Amino acid sequence: MLLLHGSGPGTTAWRTWRPLCEALADRFELIAPDQAGFGGTPIPAGRQAARALWVEQAIALMDLLGHERYSVVGHSMGGAVALAAAAARPDAVRAIVGIGCMGAPMPLPHGLDRLWSARPTRAGAAEVLGLIAPRPPGERGAPTANGAPDPAAVEDRLEAMLAQGEEAYAALFPPPRERWVADLRLREPEWERIAAPVLLVHGARDQIVPWREGALPLLERLPRADLHLLGDCGHSPHLARPELVHRLLAHHLEINA
């Protein structure tokens, strides 16, 4: 199973997928790379961090590891990369899971614009957490009683944002940011090449990729897609409702093995 993270500032594969890896490592072989421009993976010289590069690297990694058939799970931006990889290699990708998934034609959502423009300050880190919310009460990262993000979660996110570097992140999605949404949109020939069954999991209160603009068009375009819409859940259902999402994901991948 190839796990592809999203695009928020300070994002890494391990921060995104640690709960899933800990829950499912005994059932699946899990591969979770930092995509170019995030974590420990630099952008190659002379290249732009964009969908073409992320797809190219994802496919090359699985080829290098010798995996001829595999599933791909993607969150947000990573969902668009997962769909594009499946279109590029329909012979290899046997199942797809898109969580808060991009890839459909849509205008730049206001929440995504704010996420991509966030800067490594405490206010910026708090805004990122607020955009990702809501989460169940009492969970790390959930808002406190006065509606503010948990201070420990703010410090944790700020540390990750500072580790990535302000200039490095700002260079990924400079304005006008509509072009990066357009870059992540699949083109008409690609939709026809996606043969694998697709599970879409989306939060009904997603502020970054609203489900009506993200998941619903994907459901209409992908004939083998199913959608699970989770109420009172934001942009990261795999972190906000991990037990449910892990069950849905494992079932989808096992029946399509």
Nearest to 100, CA basis, from 2, 31, 7, 165 = 7
The answer to whether the CB of 222 falls within 8 A of the CB of 199 is: no
Q: Which residues contact 253 (CB under 8 A, 6 or more apart)?
A: 1, 28, 71, 95, 97
For this structure, is 76 an active site residue? yes
Residue 37, φ and ψ in degrees, nearest 5:
95, -5
The answer to whether the CB of 253 falls within 8 A of the CB of 97 is: yes
Instruction: Write down the H helix ranges in the chain.
Output: 13-24, 51-64, 77-88, 110-117, 122-132, 151-164, 166-170, 178-184, 188-193, 215-221, 237-240, 242-255
In the set 34, 113, 150, 206, the catalytic residue is 206
In the set 75, 202, 235, 252, the catalytic residue is 235
For this structure, is 117 an active site residue? no
What is the DSSP secondary structure assignment for residue 55, as one 8-state letter?
H
C-alpha span between 117 and 128 (Å, rounded): 10
C-alpha span between 212 and 180 (Å, rounded): 19
In the set 7, 71, 76, 236, the catalytic residue is 76
For this structure, is 156 an active site residue? no
C-alpha span between 33 and 61 (Å, rounded): 9
- Catalytic residues, by residue number, are 76, 206, 235
